[in-house]
Structure 1
């Protein structure tokens, strides 16, 4: 018995030694990761004075030392473009706000050598990072781009004369957590060709200019987005593919979003496409603030838009557990052939692919009467789409409507592109193995259209 007790005591002592050693390692690591307060580098809590240089010096010093936290303390600080670097944690304390300058001269034009649709010219952004590892933006502070100051000068001027607020290109192990993002000049946050991206618990308000998306994930792999609350004039949760790199292995859950356009959208740029996408637990509602509208409709165009129009592939996509208040045409699945390349002069010679999609457990109230659609092109059908356990309630009142004669093969894809559809439920054209299971369409007033209209669909 004495020997057993001795062994037990020895094991306990060894465990304690291991724990103490681990604790010391953590303490040493934490001690090595120092804090760099922007005020110590000359930042001034006065929005009449520019603190760009001070903030950048804090970032540079942190990076040179091997990493740590760059602290933005309580107060308001005006900046132009700052560039984040590897192993830097930009931490905004409660009550801290970084305000974007309203002078374009304070923004640094940059050009990445990663080739995509939107990297072929110099672009401007408030916070930028390219080819970085292990970068964190967190805290309970705010980044406000004051984007209303930048007027729209041409159709494709986003990032040219109207700055993005946050842009990561080729980032690895990127975390954005708990902060509030407001008022970008165009897209709020653009993550291009990033790996292992995590977005957690952020709040987004982007309703002060054109192209005011809330979130754009573009050709990224291994992404987790959770707990985001977003209110945007343009698209809310947006996956894109502006290069051959697919958006792949993406999970988005437990978010509340409002949009004048599309609440959940895969597209429009789809050169690579989307694979292994899981979107669940999303509440879609109209914005409580209807004082401005640049694009879309007051209650939104669609809740779910899944699109391929630039030759890419969309496969293994699941959208489930979606509750929707409003939107004109709640569900839109579209295979088109806009065929826009991702670099000047590129010719897209193939039509893309949509297959293996499951949309289930969706409840929609107070939708518009346009109807929903699942459409491909002649000889290029949408394949293997299952829609189950769906309830759509809309105002009804529709008259008998003919099937659209124009395929609109090259048109910009939008859920309202054919205006009122021939079905009060779903219009399905050029499709194979589209299955409806426990789908119910309710209308407030009688509607002359059938629930389903199929053409070249079986």
Structure 2
């Protein structure tokens, strides 16, 4: 009877949790097939098959939908436009290779990093569609190498010499290569391509190759399925659903060179009802990223990314495994991330923003995460993001000037975020939390976490943070936890290696810190207070 009662409660809890998860609707397609070879496509690697593929898509759409088949073979094409009720299906052994001729990509009005902008048309593009899919087991290659700039410090000397000798243009410092003179010119412009900056099609043409497209751009779409396909070598972001609903990404592989500028895996922006599952990402920037617009334009749009599930995914390389921001001005909420691996990423769980963004990130639930070989922080909340490589902040870079600003609609917020059941084998820093003086990171819980790292935890300008059953095995013999202006903090059962000081506390704003069930004998001194702080700030109990 006792066993039955426990089983019933377990099932009840499971059902309750399942009911709380968002429900994502899937598209459905008619079985009718439209093979691109019937429209004149040739798999010779020379013929540009753009018209044949688009004819097949148009015909499929006009006849009520179905499956456009890309058969086994090497298919060269220019950018293609999706249409409603069409499933673009790549058979095993197929390669859909996008053109390396930038003249094939017209300039269009679109969105870039949360701002209305003029960019080159994406290799796969769709706007205002419903019931669309890109499925199968083939490969889609975006020819990103003809678009992307390359930094000298990300190549070996022979690789750099070979790249420079192949053509292209160098910046004044001779440390960044650009594929064309127009791409180099764009790198010197203020907010290149941004419409609010005064860009029109004529002006944008003068810096065209700098205005790299995202590889798959789907805007204002409903019921999207991306399944089974390998997406690789994108000019900028690889997968970019924007202002869309009911998106399923399942069993896909996303690959970009590790040094690809803006080579994100997937950026889900201002979308609702999203499922990303059983997929792998090996990229040059953030792996799985949540966005919702940038600064004032993003706040005016006012569309958060919400009701998202990310599960069973692996990120092998990237600036972050699971990321929120930095363009999160419309907010992000009700996001569930679980059963994921981050292996060799710069940051594991990464929340980033800065003053001017605005937006509220809340109701984030993360559990069962495995990590190893993390270059920076395993878990990071940073409200001073400056669009730099995330490892620079852990490599001795200058700290930001800390000042108090008035709270306005442009003040971002991180709150109500819950992380549990995390294991990380190797990181530079275990946990890094840095809020703003006027808007602390608040309402954070971390439970059942074990991290092996060089440094422990930093908690700066944070409030209402609860740490429970956490192991911080660090190689820093000076301290394990560093608090600066931390309020209402609880550390319950934190295990650590022998060290000089368990916790240092600084800042006049620090108060109400509790240490519970912590073995004081493991440190020479449990708490070291900055001069002038009252010893009543920290209370210990078992």
Cα deviations by residue, 1:179-222 (Å, 9 ceiling, x for unpaired)? 11111111111111110000000011111631111111111100
1:97 Cα deviation after fit: 1.0
Any unmatched runs of 5+ in structure 2?
1-27, 150-182, 194-208, 388-407, 489-542
Hey, what does 1:430 align to over in structure 2?
461
SS in 1 for 2:45: coil
- Select 2:338's aligned residue among 259, 280, 287: 280
1:162 Cα deviation after fit: 2.5
SS in 1 for 2:123: strand
- Select 2:64's aligned residue among 58, 63, 66: 66
1:150 Cα deviation after fit: 1.7
Hey, what does 2:366 align to over in structure 1?
319
- Select 1:302's aligned residue among 325, 347, 362: 347
CA distance in 1, matches of 2:106, 2:117: 16
Hey, what does 1:54 align to over in structure 2?
52
CA distance in 2, matches of 1:82, 1:65: 19
1:235 and 2:286 matched: yes
1:383 Cα deviation after fit: 1.6
Q: Is residue 113–residue 327 contact of structure 2 (8 Å, CA) maintained in 1?
A: no
Hey, what does 2:426 align to over in structure 1?
366
Hey, what does 1:199 align to over in structure 2?
249
Cα deviations by residue, 1:66-103 (Å, 9 ceiling, x for unpaired)? 11111100001011110001101101111111001000
CA distance in 2, matches of 1:260, 1:308: 18
Hey, what does 1:354 align to over in structure 2?
414
- Select 1:174's aligned residue among 218, 224, 229: 224
Cα deviations by residue, 1:33-61 (Å, 9 ceiling, x for unpaired)? 52111111111102122101110111111
1:119 Cα deviation after fit: 3.4
1:224 Cα deviation after fit: 0.5
Hey, what does 2:518 align to over in structure 1?
none
CA distance in 1, matches of 2:72, 2:245: 32
Q: Is residue 230–residue 236 contact of structure 1 (8 Å, CA) maintained in 2?
A: yes
1:260 Cα deviation after fit: 3.6
1:379 Cα deviation after fit: 2.5
CA distance in 2, matches of 1:182, 1:337: 27
- For structure 1, which segment, 154-163 or 373-382, has the greater mean C-alpha deviation from structure 2 after superposition? 154-163
1:338 Cα deviation after fit: 7.7
Q: Is residue 260–residue 283 contact of structure 2 (8 Å, CA) maintained in 1?
A: no
Structure 1 segment 332-347 matched on structure 2, within 5 A: 332-336=380-384
- Select 2:271's aligned residue among 206, 210, 220: 220
Q: Is residue 456–residue 476 contact of structure 2 (8 Å, CA) maintained in 1?
A: no
CA distance in 2, matches of 1:117, 1:329: 26
Decide whether aligned partners of structure 1 residues 199 and 123 sit closer, same or farther in structure 2, where only a CA change above 3 A counts: same
CA distance in 1, matches of 2:476, 2:327: 38
1:378 Cα deviation after fit: 1.4
Decide whether aligned partners of structure 1 residues 190 and 115 sit closer, same or farther in structure 2, where only a CA change above 3 A counts: closer
- For structure 1, which segment, 201-210 or 42-51, has the greater mean C-alpha deviation from structure 2 after superposition? 201-210
CA distance in 1, matches of 2:119, 2:414: 33
CA distance in 2, matches of 1:117, 1:260: 21
SS in 2 for 1:425: strand
1:176 Cα deviation after fit: 0.4
Decide whether aligned partners of structure 1 residues 94 and 331 sit closer, same or farther in structure 2, where only a CA change above 3 A counts: same
SS in 2 for 1:62: helix
Q: Is residue 104–residue 161 contact of structure 1 (8 Å, CA) maintained in 2?
A: no
Q: Is residue 222–residue 250 contact of structure 1 (8 Å, CA) maintained in 2?
A: yes
Larger helix proportion of the pair:
2
Q: Is residue 148–residue 236 contact of structure 2 (8 Å, CA) maintained in 1?
A: no
Aligned-pair Cα RMSD in Å: 2.3
Q: Is residue 169–residue 193 contact of structure 1 (8 Å, CA) maintained in 2?
A: yes
1:268 and 2:326 matched: yes
Q: Is residue 428–residue 457 contact of structure 1 (8 Å, CA) maintained in 2?
A: no
1:447 and 2:505 matched: no
Hey, what does 1:185 align to over in structure 2?
235
Hey, what does 2:312 align to over in structure 1?
254
1:115 Cα deviation after fit: 10
Q: Is residue 456–residue 472 contact of structure 2 (8 Å, CA) maintained in 1?
A: yes
Cα deviations by residue, 1:333-370 (Å, 9 ceiling, x for unpaired)? 1235989xxxxxxxx753122111001111111212x4
Hey, what does 1:165 align to over in structure 2?
215
- Select 2:138's aligned residue among 131, 136, 141: 141
Structure 1 segment 7-22 matched on structure 2, within 5 A: none
TM-score, normalised to structure 2, is 0.66
Hey, what does 1:379 align to over in structure 2?
438
Decide whether aligned partners of structure 1 residues 43 and 157 sit closer, same or farther in structure 2, where only a CA change above 3 A counts: farther
1:122 Cα deviation after fit: 3.7
CA distance in 2, matches of 1:123, 1:253: 32
